[in-house]
Amino acid sequence: MAKNVIPYKDSDKGKKEQVTSMFDAISEEYDGLNRVISFGIDVKWRRRVVNILKKREPKSILDIATGTGDLAINLVETGAKKIVGLDISKGMLAVGKKKVIQKELEAIVEMVVGDSENLQYESGSFDAVTVAFGVRNFEHLDKGLEEIYRVLKPGGTLVILETSVPTKTPFKQGYRLYSKYILPAIGKIFSKDRSAYRYLSESASVFPHGPEFNNILKKIGFIGMENRPQTFGVASIYIATK
């Protein structure tokens, strides 16, 4: 079970409200700082998600926790005719909408405000659902995954890109040092919301990964689970079928 880490420990608001406020606050700086924090490797990871779905030729894709829309825009390469980028943060979506307009993709990519734990779509609406660095922000993980399962068509594909924790030496020790000291320090220097990057680091370190996360997907009802560790295990791509 995922530990319920929250961004603002002195707030009495729920995790969902806090996460929304946090991403609204850092939306303008998120892309640039994210490239710095991940050394740009996150771009390669998203490309791998796209390549996985290309082979499955989905006609409709829901990208949950789309943020500033990078993955939703990249997913155009799959040939899908309808891509919905959904996020709870209006600030992040505003940045994403600008990108969609600049690339003249409005006919394919739609950016909408929505709650991952209460999706506004009918059951069986999408051929594929993607989530990049978003499931650990769900307030109720099981509920969010159940909603994903519901809106997928039978035989539809779920692809999740999420942080994980390396298990092999010396990468395990290096990751601990980086996540505990370096990442929060970068956020402290460059971000106006210091708590945000402390939260991103802490939530990544305690989130279930590998077989543990696959077991959660299996409990929801998914089949054919596959886990592909990325870059020494600092991230993982999970693939599952409804």
198 HSE (CA, 13 A, CB side):
10
Nearest partner of 51 among 138, 159, 144, judged by Cα: 159
Name the 3-class secondary structure at 85.
strand
**pLDDT at position 2 over 60:** no
Looking at residue 3, what is its pLDDT?
Answer: 61
Note the pLDDT tens digit of each residue in 174-183.
878 877 777 7
More confident residue, 185 or 233: 233
**What is the pLDDT confidence band of residue 48, given thresholds at 50, 70 and 90?**
very high
* Among 26-35, 67-76, 95-104, 149-158, the least confident range: 26-35
Confidence of residue 32 (pLDDT cuts 50, 70, 90): confident
- Per-residue pLDDT of 148-180, as tens digits, reads 999 999 999 999 999 888 888 888 888 788 777
- Residue 186 banded pLDDT, cuts 50, 70, 90: confident
Starting at the edge strand that comes first in sequence, how are the strands of the sheet with 223-230 ordered?
A: 109-113, 82-87, 60-64, 126-132, 152-163, 235-241, 223-230
Stretch 132-141: mean pLDDT: 94
